[in-house]
Copies of this chain bind each other. A is one copy, B any other.
Amino acid sequence: MRNLIIASTSTVHGSGYLEYILDELTVFFKDAKTVLFIPYARPGGISHDEYTEKAASAFSKIGKKVVGIHTFKNPVEAIKKAEAIFTGGGNTFVLVSQLYKNNLIAVLKETLTNGTPYLGTSAGSNICGLTIKTSNDMPIVYPPSFNTLGMLPFNINPHYLDPDTNSKHMGETRETRIKEFQSYNTPPVIGLREGSWLHVKGDSIVLKGNLEARIFEYNKTPYEIASGTQLNHLK
């Protein structure tokens, strides 16, 4: 039975790493002493060790130990045996490339389907959708596929950003980009604003946090949903 927290971001403005969601994680990870961390997305190019230290520092506040998957000889076994898993943000293309390189896509999908609790933030949330085709990241490496875990029947757009009506910049707005996605793909997309997350438990998918989220369905006008909305019908 799926048990996932799929968060827009690790960090909200003016607060420390994971700080806004630590209370939730205390409950969510209550049966785990150790969290297996997947640091592959390497934000800003930091090393796997540095990134794991950052995650460990946050989780120490709720009494959890963190181990980086890069320290295991057999990462497939590490995932199978994990009490809990956290994939941090960074670059989605780098993350997905590493997951494929280490043959972790299938085992991660199986393990999460079987109920190992999983936290994803940003890139770590993107991979829970069908594909990374709604990532915001720069495509700095070429992964063998854009297909990901499909733990949700739709795609995530993390760090969702409303159009800046004062901007003189002519680059596409986030909404324009997501609509372009739906010129070529039919799955829905949920734009998760920073501080929002999805709590997935079995068949239930509920929006959490203080903010609304924006839903993009194929051939429909985008619309807002309130925190607490059940999304198990969305596909």
Question: A: which residues have CB within 8 A of B?
Answer: 9, 11-14, 42-45, 90-91, 93-94, 132-142, 145-146, 159, 161, 168-172, 176-185, 194
Contact = CB atoms under 8 A, between A and B. Distances in A.
Contact of A161 (B12, B161, B169, B176): B169
A137 to B, nearest CB: 7
B146 A184 contact: no
A181 B138 contact: yes
Q: How many copies does the complex hold?
A: 2
Nearest to A177: B138
Prevailing SS type, chain A contact patch = loop
B12 A42 contact: no
Given A90-B180, A136-B171, A136-B172, 13 more contacts: A9-B170, A14-B168, A42-B183, A44-B176, A132-B139, A133-B141, A134-B140, A136-B138, A137-B172, A138-B177, A139-B146, A140-B184, A142-B145
A105 B159 CA distance: 34
Q: Taking each of A142, A161, A171, A183, which has the highest tally of chain B beta carbons within 10 Å of its own beta carbon?
A: A171
Given A12-B170, A161-B171, A178 B138 contact: yes
A41 B203 CA distance: 38
A184 B141 contact: yes
Contacts of A185: 140
Nearest to A12: B170
Closest A-B pairs by Cβ, 3 of them: A45-B183, A13-B168, A159-B171
Nearest to A46: B183
Contacts of A179: 44-45
B136 A184 contact: no
A93 B177 CA distance: 12
Contacts of A93: 139
A180 B145 contact: no
Contact of A170 (B146, B159, B184): B159
